[in-house]
Amino acid sequence: MIRNLLLFLSFLVFFSFGQNIRAQEQKPSYVLVIHGGAGVITKKNMTPEKEKQYTAKLKEALQAGEKVLKNGGSSLDAVTASILVMENSPLFNAGKGAVFTAEGTNEMDASIMDGRDLNAGAVASVRHIKNPILGARAVMEHTPHVLIIGEGAEEVAAKNGVELVDTSYFFTQKRWDYFQKVKKEKEEVEKHGTVGAVALDMHGNLAAGTSTGGMTYKMKGRVGDSPIIGAGTYADNNTCAVSATGHGEYFMRYVVTYDITALMKYKGYSLQKAANEVIMHKLKDVGGDGGIIAVDKNGNISMTFNTPGMFRGYVTSEEKSEVRIYKD
């Protein structure tokens, strides 16, 4: 009888091991999700040519990040690579395409977070850092701080080899014309356009990053949610990585990216359930508009938004890939 019991227990151990192997095989070895901002993005307001440009650039950003992940690189490097592509494009409200403040200047914010140890870095109100996401990494990797603003952030960036440029680099005619229109009308419109990326790498590590030029015609010195850890960016290997885009004041008040991870950690919510609770209920009920992209520790993704559209896309090691713009 003892012998039969031992044989039965051995069978259970083997069966359990086999189930774990199959479960691991079903989990993608890497995942990358990106966004290029959420807002009033509708097909009737988008020309076919412009739609092609956005689609091509989103695919380029995905390819840049996936190249890192495919070669066994870190989620941090993948997130950085994807965001760099979007920061260097005038299509998005980050880096080269940053919008203008009420003073007619560009002030940019960015943040990045490592899910392994919750290490994070951010910069705010920078005017000369060509790629603010690199400034955020410099803060994370070369200082004991999390958030540095203005000239202090630019000094950290310069000391660590991050390229600084004259403010004229950030000028684009499209953003300037729009600034003039908004200035004339004295309205705050087209608030969104932030870029971000989240990734799960082959080592099981999560990372998130976000970069923005902020609101068109914002007050000088205004800082939104993008450089605020827990509001615009959050990553924790125990739960998920999240990057947000939307009306920053609401995302800060409701600590959106951390709230999603907290619902997963303390209430046992799935990633999608947590994202729906925060974006489609908590935020929407108080008039906060925008969205998030996220990936959890098991490779599940969410691209949830309560606006008419959000530039977004994802790619996985299972060769699943998609780029989308509109709600439908």
Q: Is 64 in contact with 85 (CB distance < 8 Å)?
A: yes
Helix (H) or strand (E) holding 120: strand 119-126
246: how many CB neighbours lie within 10 A of its CB?
A: 28
Show the tokens assigned to 29: 């070895």
Instruction: Give φ, ψ of 286 to 5 degrees.
Output: -110, 10
The residue type at 97: G
Q: Report how far residue 191's alpha carbon sits from residue 222's, in angstroms, rounded to the nearest whole number.
A: 13
Annotated active-site residue in 80, 101, 194, 216:
194
Q: Report how far residue 122's alpha carbon sits from residue 140's, in angstroms, rounded to the nearest whole number.
A: 7
Q: Which DSSP string do the residues of 233-295 spell out, in sequence order?
A: EEE-TTSEEEEEEE-HHHHHHTTHHHHHHHHHHHH---HHHHHIIIIIIIIHHTT--EEEEEE
Q: Report how far residue 233's alpha carbon sits from residue 120's, in angstroms, rounded to the nearest whole number.
A: 9
CA atoms within 13 A on the CB side of 17: 6
Q: Report how far residue 146's alpha carbon sits from residue 295's, in angstroms, rounded to the nearest whole number.
A: 23
106: how many CB neighbours lie within 10 A of its CB?
A: 24
Question: Catalytic residue at 212?
Answer: no
Q: Give the relative orientation of helices 75-87 and 48-70 as an angle to the nearest 10 degrees.
A: 150
Q: Sign of the CA dihedral 171, 212, 160, 151? A: positive
- Of the candidates 11, 40, 72, the residue with the CA atom closest to the CA atom of residue 317: 72
- Of the candidates 298, 228, 279, the residue with the CA atom closest to the CA atom of residue 23: 298
Active site residues per annotation? 194
